[in-house]
Amino acid sequence: MAPASPLRLRLDTQALAANWRALDRLSGPARAGAAVKADAYGLGAALAVPVLAKAGCRDWFVAHWGEVADVLAYVPAAAIAVLHGPLDQADVAYARATGVRPVLNSLPQVARWLAGGGGPCHVMVDTGINRLGLALADLGDPLVGQLEIDLCLSHLASADEDCAQNAQQLARFAEVRARVPAQRYSLANSAGIALGAAFHADLTRPGIALYGGVVRRELAGVVQQVARPEAAVLQVRDLEAGDAVGYNATFVAPRAMRLAVVALGYADGYLRCWSNRGALACGDAVLPVVGRVSMDLTAIDVSTAPHVREGDWLALEYDLPHAAQQSGLSQYELLTLFHRRFARCT
């Protein structure tokens, strides 16, 4: 077997389960599902899905058909929704063979599904984000009336802000509910849950908040950190005042320093925006990034942690709201950037 990776992503399964339960409670009479697309937002579906299922989750959302297998190993097929819908008859055949539910986003997809034999499905209706979904004008098409719709859903564009668009989309969704007969209805994402009961419908679809993202102030103190990335020290070296570090000498030692080089770089999702800005930690010691982040390596000032040696593990400072503020990246990017070189573990 290959040796262990010098990068690991620790998944706090207790925090993950607690986040789902908290979001389910905030959803009131509605049930909370889980968006587990993009390999559970980069954390690993093989780890996240069983934890969420044990916590009580029963509805699952992926984006691509290729993501189904990672979830299907742990939950019933009919509980899995593929958000991008069927692009061709091969997708239709796969959905019908497995029992996975397609989310139909356009009249051509509706026609494709019916031509392939139809059956239970979900339908996305656009209420203002102008991304995927049937237009309101499409709802009177006779083909839509032939569908066996389990879940009718829409997606909020600006739920993380206090703005008029939220009320506008809510009003349009009320029109959708009046015109589209379905077993269940769903509008709220993570931020939408925090907007209140009017947005909850029958099923909420949290994503980022499950994994530690705080996308509205109401979720602060409710959502716990889940992802804790760590990197191994490859080398420790001593610098003298005036020594330059990394590509283009963007950092020059102002004094004698102790430096650790870790197996972490932009190929792993730790982007150049962290250069001379990020930090790792060893216990209570905060260890700043010095110099430019390169493809596979990052230099850390460990002068305040003289006990650090080769092979030791350092933790990235990666509380999502704080890390987003520091880096300029969104909380979504911070999670989904994690490369497969990170070993996922609990």
- Which are the catalytic amino acids? 37, 247
- Cα–Cα distance, 334 to 323 (Å, whole number): 8
Please answer whether residues 207 and 178 qualify as being in contact, where contact means their C-beta atoms are separated by less than 8 angstroms: no
The Cα 7–Cα 64 span in angstroms is: 27
How many CB atoms sit inside 10 A of residue 145's CB?
Answer: 10
CA 82/CA 142 separation, integer angstroms: 24
| CA-wise closest residue to 193 among 342, 31, 306, 318 | 31
Does residue 121 contact residue 143 with C-beta atoms inside 8 Å?
Answer: no
The angle formed by the CA atoms of residues 310, 324 and 271, to the nearest 5 degrees, is 50
* DSSP strand pairing (203-204 vs 31-32): parallel
Phi (first) and psi of residue 181, to 5 degrees? -75, 125
Q: What gap in Å lies between CA 20 and CA 30, rounded to an integer?
A: 13
CA 251 – CA 157 distance, rounded (Å): 41
